[in-house]
Amino acid sequence: MDREKEKQDPVHFAAAVKEAPASGKAKKKTASHLEKEKSEMGNKKSEKKDKTILKLYKKALKTRENAYVPFSKFKVGAAVLTSSGEIYTGCNIENSSFGLTVCAERVAIFKAAAAGVRPGEMKMLLVAADTEDVTSPCGACRQVIAEFGIPEIVMANVSGDMKKVTLEELLPFGFKASDFT
């Protein structure tokens, strides 16, 4: 399968999953390692989580194609999973007044909020772009992620590399709504 076709088929091309264990040192996992672990352990919860991440990944990549990026040409896609299992997606939308540009992560989160999903009801966010390394949310997006209390963030690229981090790793000492009380 050539590289362009592989990019279009993320199930077969999600070649590496990087996870950040408690030690803080990233541990790379490939799709074959995940399959081996699944067959050895038979862990249904782990299998479900891996399938969920792949589903978010595919939806983020698909939505990424709708990005409006006439200036940077840098397309980003995001997908948010709610506690009820719904998925909301977003892409980045640029504006000639650059400060008005909105990132994919915030579009996905705001779509969920507009549908009635409240802080604490979003379980996971995945963001993906065409970068060499995984795509990391900007500072503004990190603050919005903290506001809505999304505990797990998966950063990815279109090549299938992924790194999962917690909200605390992404934004240590973040300012949250609970800080008002």
Closest CA to 108 of 148, 156, 162, 74: 148
Q: What are phi and psi of 122, to 5 degrees?
A: -105, 125
- 8 Å CB contact between 152 and 181: no
Q: Residues 6 or more apart from 165 whose CB is under 8 A from it?
A: 20, 152, 153, 154, 155
The backbone torsions φ and ψ at residue 152, rounded to the nearest 5 degrees and listed phi first, read -120, 135
Q: Which residues are known to be catalytic?
A: 105
> How far from chain centre, in Å, is Cα 62?
13
180: exposed, middle or buried (C-beta count within 10 Å: 0-12, 13-18, 19+)? exposed
Q: How many helices (H) and strands (E) does the chain have?
A: 7, 7
Q: Which amino acid is at 138?
A: C
